[in-house]
Amino acid sequence: MQKNNGNNGNPNWVEMLKGWRKEKAEQYAKAILSPPTATTLYKALPRPGVVLIMGHRRKGKTGLAHQAANLYHKVYGAPAVVHLPHIPEPLRKKIQKLLPSWMKVVDRVSEWPKDAVVIYDEAAQSAHARRSQSNEAIALDNLVGISGQRNQLLIFISHHSRKIDLNLVHEVDRILWKEPTFAHQMFERDELSDFTMRAFDFFQAIPRARARLKATLVMDFQRLEFKKCDNVLAPWWSDDLSRLFQDIQVGKGRN
């Protein structure tokens, strides 16, 4: 309802703007502070959509992405690709042997099929914020923009969003957190620092370490609400596979 300023019945636009801003601030505060609602990993994922998984090292980010692909393959028969640019062929083959036949390791964005799950592990490799004008980053930005038309679920993985090009962050439908540290909030982009601090508080409230490893906190940006779920590991996930991905992240085995 419009408020009048008592002058010829004209609306008081300044007061209306203040009221509108207050309403939006209350909606934002409610989204940050309300307890997360329980869901499942499958229900938490958009289809199609863009997902960013963040959290500290060795807290299950890559394993979570593989389980998401496993669920989509079970329900929709969707293939998956693991995008790992700039790795030597022997390492690519070693990883491929540990993956199911419907999940392929690729190093070019042109190899992303339609109707698929794309896991872009350690997104900082070529979606790095400081490389936002490179040809590779521009091609990636274009593919993210048309991922809905191609019916793809794109899953990007990084420790925190400052490593990621801002254009990519703006396209995200969901952020899934595995356990972050307090410092992650300090490193975050300003737009996401409150959300990451909320994620830190969420995991701190879980007393057992094993339970924290299973837990996932989800921010649904379409509804602006937090959700929570537990996840199991994909059937093919193993210590050997985990170590190979860690080697990639620290640069071992590269050309």
Is residue 255 domain-resident?
no
Q: Say if 24 falls within a structural domain.
A: no
Summarize pLDDT for 211-225 with one digit per residue, the tens.
999 999 999 999 999
Residue 57 pLDDT > 50: yes
CA torsion sign for 61, 67, 68, 73 is positive
The CA-based dihedral angle spanning residues 239, 242, 244, 249, taken in that order and rounded to the nearest 10 degrees: -150
Residue 199 maps to a domain: yes
What pLDDT, on a 0 to 100 scale, did the predictor assign at position 163? 76
The verdict on residue 245 lying in a domain is yes
| CATH at residue 67 | 3.40.50.300
**Residue (of 248, 210, 219, 214) closest to 233 by Cα position:** 214
Going 101 to 107 to 111 to 116, the CA torsion angle's sign is: positive
pLDDT above 50 for 124: no
Which pLDDT belongs to residue 225?
Answer: 97
Q: Which two tokens stand for residue 136?
A: 């590779």
Contact 219, 175 (CB under 8 A): yes
**Which stretch, 57-61, 125-129, 228-232, has highest mean pLDDT?**
228-232
Is residue 206 in a domain? yes
Q: Examine the pLDDT at 136 and tell me if it is beyond 80.
A: no
Ranges of H-type helices in the chain:
13-33, 41-44, 61-76, 89-97, 135-145, 166-170, 182-187, 193-204, 209-214, 239-249
CA 87 to CA 253: how far, in whole Å? 7
pLDDT (0 to 100) of residue 146: 82
User: Is the Cβ–Cβ distance between 221 and 172 less than 8 Å?
Assistant: yes
Residue 170 pLDDT class (50, 70, 90 cuts): confident
Locus of tokens 């602006």: 224
Q: Which tens digit of pLDDT belongs to each residue from 76-119?
A: 999 999 998 878 888 889 999 999 999 999 988 889 999 999 99
Q: What is the pLDDT of residue 142?
A: 78
Expressed as residue numbers, the domain containing 58 is 37-249
What is the average per-residue pLDDT within 116-135?
65
Whether 254 maps to a domain, the answer reads no
pTM: 0.87
Domain count, the chain: 1
Q: Comparing 141-145, 168-172, 211-215, which segment has the lowest mean pLDDT? A: 141-145
Q: Which residues contact 2 (CB under 8 A, 6 or more apart)?
A: 11, 16
pLDDT at 134: 63
pLDDT score, position 127: 47
On whether residue 214 sits in a domain, the answer given is yes
Q: Phi-psi category of 115—alpha, beta or left, where left has phi over 0 and alpha has psi -120 to 50?
A: left
What are the distances in angstroms from CA 162 to CA 25, 128, 169?
24, 8, 9
Residue 4 falls inside a structural domain: no
